[in-house]
Structures are given as C-alpha cells and as structure tokens.
Structure 1
Amino acid sequence: MKSTLFRYRAFPVGFAVTYLLILFMEYIGLIRIPPDSWISNFLGFFFYAFFISLAMHKYLQKGGTLLRVGAGLLILVIVIFTTGYYTGHLRDNPLVILLLVFFWLMLFYFILPDFFRKYSILILILYCGSAIFFLYARLFTGSFEIYESEYKMWALTLFVLPVPILVILWIYEQWKWFRTLKAEKSKAELALLRSQVNPHFFFNTLNNLYSLVVQKSDKAPDVILKLSDMMRYTIYEGDKESVRLEDEIGYLQQYIDLHKIRYNKKVDVRFNAPDAADTFVAPLLFIVLLENAFKHGVETMREGAYIHITLENEGGNVRFEIRNNFNEFTVEETSGIGLENLKKRLRLLYPGRHSLDIVKENNNFTVTLELNTL
C-alpha cells in the first residue's frame, strides 16, 4: 500500500499545488470564486489539478524530481498572474496570453515528452506563427478597439487551431504503435508455433531411428543422413517468412524417402507435384499433414496402406491434397499438437486467404489445404 502511494505521490502534490495557486490568485484579487457555483468551481479545479498532477507524474517516471517540477510549475503560474495583475488587463494582456500558452505547452511536454520531441519543429512553427500574428494584431494595429472588432477572433483561433492538429498526430502515433505491437505479437506467436512444430516432428523421427539402431539395421545410416539434411532445411529455411515451393516439395520428398527406408511393409506412396520455382509459401506447412498421414494412417495398417498426394499451383493459388487410409480400430481420435499449430499458423500467415478441409469417410482421410500466396 505504501509503495503504491509513493508511486502516485505526484497526484496529491499536484492537487495541493493547484489549490495553493487558487488561494494565491484569490488573495491578490485576480479571481473571485462565487460560493453558489460550487459544481462548476469543483470541475474547473479538478480539470487543472489533474493535468498538473499528470505532468508531475510523467516527469517523475522519466527520472525527474517532484520538487523541481512542482516548483517550476508554481513559479511559472505565479509569474504569469503577477504579471497580469501589475500590467493591467489579465485576459487581454499580450504577455500573459503568451505565458499561458507557454505554460500549457510545458505542461503537455511533461505529459508527452517523446511526442513533443518528435514534433518539436512543427509545434514551434505553429505556435511561433500564432504568437507573431497575435502580437502584431494586439500591439501594432492602432488601437485595442480595432483588435477587439477585427483581429481578436483570428488571433485566438490561431492559438487553438494547432490543438486538433496535434491531437490527430497523437492518435496517428498511437495507431502506428498499436499496429507495430500487433505485428510483433504475431511474429512472437509464429516463432513459438514453429519451435513447437519442428521438435514434434523430430521427436517422432528419432524414436523411429532408435528402434532401427536397437535392431542394428543397415538402414540406420541412411536414416541419419536424411535426417541431417532435413534438420539443415528446418534450421536455415524454417525461420524464413517464405521459401520456394520447389524447396518445400523437395523437403516433403525427403520425408517420404526417410519413411520408405524404415518400413518393412509395402506402402503405396504417390506424390504428384508441379514445377513451382517461382511460387513462394510459408515453410513447414505441408509437412504436418504428411506426418499425420504416416502416423495415423500407415502405422495403423498391417497391409494395403497408401498415401496419395497431389499438389497443384495455378497463378499463386496452391492446392495441397493428401489422401490416406487408416484402421479405425487403432487410429487415435486426437488431432495432435501438429494439426492445431498448423491451424493457428494459417490464421496468422494467411488470414482470409486459406482453407483447410478434413474429411473422414469409409476408413479414408482426405485433407485439402488451399493457399492464396499472392
């Protein structure tokens, strides 16, 4: 509780500073607070106190000291109103108006320091131009009456005009920040999903390799060599945003060859793929479906197992279809980590530009993945 109060200590100090300023201005006769208008008085006090407190709070977060910012704001306001008191009209005094503008700029500099530093030249141009016009209209147009009738509205408008411009710029900055944050979040999610896909695949393959080594099979060296080539692909290509479809096809073929080495039974594997050198896709998408076909299809069948793969590419529209049979008495009913991660990756990489259909019928699986890569 104590640490929370200490962290937000600028707010009680800011309200106290604002209250002291009001007492000071009332004491020297600059303002008069009607006792019957307590609602409007309270709202006005809260408005000024909040912004002064927020400026103090932001300044403290940047490493400043409460005494310095509080004293600075207090001295500036005292100078402003003392100047107005001893030089005549407060509301139309040129020096007071310029000091008030400076006060609000300084206040919001403490609240939004990064924004003000980025657009400092623009802010300087806008308010220097407004100040020059105001000084000309107030001091060099002949008389106060001419200023009141012809120039006052324009001068005040020029002081207020930068506000919506700067507000729009600030909203634009927040929108850019939000988009960047969202993009970084998507990249982090994709990196996590990739890290889950690759170990999942190699875990299964290493289990297969272990059984071959235990059996002292002559196929083990070939499996190790092909596994090394596949690991090289996943390390150097799997981290890229996109790879050539032709390279992805080669990766799938290596996976098929690896499984042909380890199986003693006959498996009918057919892979029809086009020449796709000029098409790019996200890496390691199709391998999940091929892996599931072997795991939930071939490995459940004693004989007659098949996997038929067709890959089509027409003008950047990629269609990957894989069909396999399975034994309904031994197949697992879970979709597994790989398929769930594939669905998440597709939503992140191809939002509104993909479809994934899974059909289970008569002991056959047919999975169709369509991508619009343009």
Structure 2
Amino acid sequence: MKTNKKIPPVIIHILVWIFFLVTSASQIYLKIGHIPSDFIVRSLLLITAFYLNYSLFVPHLLLNKKVPLFFLVIIAFSLFFLFIMQETLPRPNFKPPGDFGMQENEMPPKKPHPFLLNFRVFFPSGGLLLLVFAISTSVKLGIEWFKSEKKRVLIESEKVNSELSFLKAQLNPHFLFNSLNSIYSLAHKQSKDTTNAIVILSDLMRYMIYEANKELVPLEKEIEYIKNYISLQLLRLKDSSNVKVNIHGNLNYGIEPLLLISFIENAFKYGTDFKGKTNIIIKIHVEDELLKLYVYNSVSHQQPKNENSGIGLENIKNRLKLLYPNQHTINIKNEKNSYEVNLMLKLKKL
C-alpha cells in the first residue's frame, strides 16, 4: 500500500539553505581561491534576516496592512545589519590568487567612521540583504495565499455538502410524513391548531428553500426557524410538559444558516422514551457577540442508534472548525441516560 508522506517544511528549509551555502561558497572559492573566514557569520546574519522578515515582519505588519511601518522596519533592520557587518566583520580580500601583500605606494585601508556606512560594503552586502528580504516576503506571501485559497475551497465545499445534507434531512419523506401526520391528527380532532400547524410547516419549508443558500442570515430569522421547528415537533408529542425552551439576548447579528438545528433535531429525535415522555432543555443566550447554546435530552435505552445522526453531528463540528476557527468551543457529553451539548460561538456582524 502506497503512503503519501509529506516532507516536513523544516527539512525543506534546511535543504534549501545547504544548497544556497554550498553554491555561494563554491562561487567565492572559484573567484578568489579561498573561502573568507567570516563567510559563515555573514551567512548566518542573512539567514537571521530572512526568518525575522518571514516570521515577524510580514505576518505582523504587511499582512495586517501596516505597509508604511513594514518598509520602515525593513530599512531600519537593513541599516542595522550592515552596521554590524561593517563594525564586527573584516572586509573580505578579493585579490586574486598569487597577489600577496601591498605595493610599495599602497596605503592601508582606512577604517570608516563608526556611524557612517562604508558604501563599498553597502552595495554588495546591502543588495544581497535586500534580495533576502524580497525573497522571504515573496515566499511568505505565496504560502499565505496558498493557505487562504485552500481554506476558501474547503469552506465552499463543506458548505455545499452541509447544506445539501441538511436540506435532504429536513425535506426527506420521513420528516414530511411525521409533520403531515401531526397535522392530520389535529384536523381529525377538529383542533383549532390545524391551520397554525400548516402555516408553521410552510414557513419551515420556505426558510429552507430561500434562506439556506445564503452565506449569512440574520440571527433573528435563524432563531425564528428554530422556534417554528420546535413548535411543529411539540404537535406530535404525547407529553411535552418537560420540554423547556429559553431564548434571550440581542439577536442583531448574522450566522450561517442551519448551523444550530442539528443539535435541536437530535434532541427531539432521541429525547422521547418508550412511554412517550420527553425530557428536553434548550437554552440560547446571546451577549456581546457571543452565542451560548445548551441542549439537553434524556436518552431512552429502547431506541436504536442511528448512524446518520452521528455523521450529521460530525459534519456540524467540521463545519464549525472551517467557518469559525478559534472562534468557537463545543463540548458534548454523551452519557448513559442523557446527552448534552454546550456550544459557544462568536457571532458575525451583518
């Protein structure tokens, strides 16, 4: 069996730098006949400059749209590195092999003023330093673009799959049969709630058809959909006295459609025991852009486990990871006689 193992980024970086150092050392040796004693130190300074820009300056300044500050920092660090090279490292001797010592009338090189850059040092070293900054900037921007593009494709793919699975789950014949059966029962009893039940069902289907394909919907509409779903489910229950629903807070935010309904649907699916009693608690609280969802339901041992329910909840958790990275926490307790979901989610502004 073939396994596709990716090479760790650290190994790639090390191999690239080894190739760079070997190539540079070879070129210098062919030109002057030896490798300068400060070659390693200069190379380490260039590598340090590369990773300072790659790990700090680009992510924290350039990618945060602080462009003027980014260029100021690049210029300042370039001058600082050149100053370090000038003051601490000897000037390499580029005389060809066989040329020894100074001529009779040749004066020894003057040491530049400590606070003035030697332009003979600046142009070769400064040009190479700017090239290192340019390469590290390009590499980091390329990697970040690739990550964002890959994430965008995953989000779109996951969103399409989730919406299709939700629509399929909500509009399947079983859902319609239960809803229509509840309405038929009300009509047979000549209940005054029959008309209201038909209106609720039509509202649910209208929301799923016209709102579920949007990127964001008002939280108020999503909550209204959840309330309608709960109202319709209560019609089929023999005893709904232990169904507790508490929703409060500021609803002037946006949320991805059909993001919360699976947890509530799961509660109604497994919260009724074989005697017809239902124990469900649903709490939704919104405060300071933070939505807290708590869903509890008792679990009957008489009910067979449905694999599709587990898959649906896994899809929701994956969707949360993609749409709300580092902006949500979810804790699920699946115990012998109960099932609990605690979700905290940072909402988006419309």
Into which bin does the TM-score normalised by the smaller protein fall? 0.5 to 0.7
Q: Is this contact kept in 2: 1:354–1:372, CA < 8 A?
A: yes
Task: Give the SS at the match of 1:313.
Answer: strand
Of the structure 1 ranges 189-198 and 231-240, higher mean CA displacement relative to structure 2 is found in 231-240
Match of 2:302 among 329, 346, 362: 329
Q: Quickly say closer, same or farther: Cα 1:366–1:165, change in 2 above 3 A.
A: closer
Residue 316 (1) aligns with residue 298 (2): no
Match of 1:183 among 151, 163, 174: 151
Q: Which residue of 1 aligns with 2:27?
A: none
Task: Give the SS at the match of 1:323.
Answer: strand
Task: Give the SS at the match of 1:337.
Answer: helix
Q: Which residue of 1 aligns with 2:111?
A: none
Q: Is this contact kept in 2: 1:271–1:308, CA < 8 A?
A: yes
AA of the residue aligned to 1:353: Q
1:227 CA drift (Å): 2.8
Q: Distance in 2 between matches of 1:274 and 1:253?
A: 12
Q: Quickly say closer, same or farther: Cα 1:312–1:161, change in 2 above 3 A.
A: closer
Higher relative contact order (CA 8 A, sep 6+): 2
Q: Quickly say closer, same or farther: Cα 1:213–1:279, change in 2 above 3 A.
A: closer
Task: Give the SS at the match of 2:225.
Answer: helix
Q: Distance in 2 between matches of 1:207 and 1:290?
A: 19
Q: Is this contact kept in 2: 1:307–1:325, CA < 8 A?
A: yes
Q: Distance in 2 between matches of 1:321 and 1:151?
A: 68
AA of the residue aligned to 1:237: E
Identity of aligned residues (%): 29
Q: Quickly say closer, same or farther: Cα 1:307–1:168, change in 2 above 3 A.
A: same
Q: Which residue of 2 aligns with 1:364?
A: 338
Task: Give the SS at the match of 1:273.
Answer: strand
1:324 CA drift (Å): 1.8
Q: Is this contact kept in 2: 1:285–1:342, CA < 8 A?
A: yes
Task: Give the SS at the match of 2:277.
Answer: coil
1:250 CA drift (Å): 0.9
Q: Distance in 1 between matches of 2:302 and 2:335?
A: 14
Task: Give the SS at the match of 1:274.
Answer: strand
Q: Quickly say closer, same or farther: Cα 1:186–1:217, change in 2 above 3 A.
A: same
AA of the residue aligned to 1:301: F
Match of 1:195 among 164, 169, 180: 164
Where structure 1 has 5 or more consecutive residues not aligned to the other structure, the ranges are 1-42, 45-149
Q: Which residue of 1 aligns with 2:105?
A: none
Q: Quickly say closer, same or farther: Cα 1:152–1:228, change in 2 above 3 A.
A: same
Match of 1:207 among 177, 184, 193: 177
1:251 CA drift (Å): 0.9
**How many residue pairs get matched?**
231
Q: Which residue of 1 aligns with 2:201?
A: 227
Q: Is this contact kept in 1: 2:239–2:277, CA < 8 A?
A: yes
Q: Distance in 2 between matches of 1:220 and 1:332?
A: 32
Q: Distance in 2 between matches of 1:320 and 1:155?
A: 62
Q: Is this contact kept in 1: 2:320–2:328, CA < 8 A?
A: yes
1:296 CA drift (Å): 1.5
Where structure 2 has 5 or more consecutive residues not aligned to the other structure, the ranges are 1-21, 24-117
Residue 167 (1) aligns with residue 140 (2): no
Match of 2:277 among 299, 304, 327: 304
* TM-score between the two structures when normalised by the length of structure 2: 0.54
Task: Give the SS at the match of 2:257.
Answer: coil
1:153 CA drift (Å): 8.7
Q: Quickly say closer, same or farther: Cα 1:169–1:330, change in 2 above 3 A.
A: closer
Q: Quickly say closer, same or farther: Cα 1:197–1:337, change in 2 above 3 A.
A: farther
Q: Is this contact kept in 1: 2:179–2:232, CA < 8 A?
A: no
AA of the residue aligned to 1:232: R
Task: Give the SS at the match of 2:171.
Answer: helix
AA of the residue aligned to 1:202: L
Q: Quickly say closer, same or farther: Cα 1:176–1:351, change in 2 above 3 A.
A: closer
Q: Which residue of 2 aligns with 1:241?
A: 215
1:266 CA drift (Å): 2.0
Bigger Cα Rg: 1
1:183 CA drift (Å): 3.1
Q: Quickly say closer, same or farther: Cα 1:286–1:258, change in 2 above 3 A.
A: same
Once the two structures are superposed, what CA deviation does each residue of 1:278-298 show, in whole Å capped at 9, x if it has no partner?
Answer: 233332122101101111122
Once the two structures are superposed, what CA deviation does each residue of 1:294-314 show, in whole Å capped at 9, x if it has no partner?
Answer: 11122x433321222111222
Q: Which residue of 2 aligns with 1:14?
A: none
Q: Quickly say closer, same or farther: Cα 1:355–1:163, change in 2 above 3 A.
A: closer
Once the two structures are superposed, what CA deviation does each residue of 1:309-328 show, in whole Å capped at 9, x if it has no partner?
Answer: 11122222221111222321
1:343 CA drift (Å): 0.9
Let me know the Cα RMSD of the aligned residues.
Answer: 3.9
* TM-score between the two structures when normalised by the length of structure 1: 0.51
Once the two structures are superposed, what CA deviation does each residue of 1:248-284 show, in whole Å capped at 9, x if it has no partner?
Answer: 22111100111123x1512232211113222333321
Task: Give the SS at the match of 1:369.
Answer: strand
Once the two structures are superposed, what CA deviation does each residue of 1:30-67 show, in whole Å capped at 9, x if it has no partner?
Answer: xxxxxxxxxxxxx99xxxxxxxxxxxxxxxxxxxxxxx
Q: Would you tell me which structure has more helix in proportion to its own residues?
A: 1
Residue 339 (1) aligns with residue 316 (2): no
1:176 CA drift (Å): 4.6
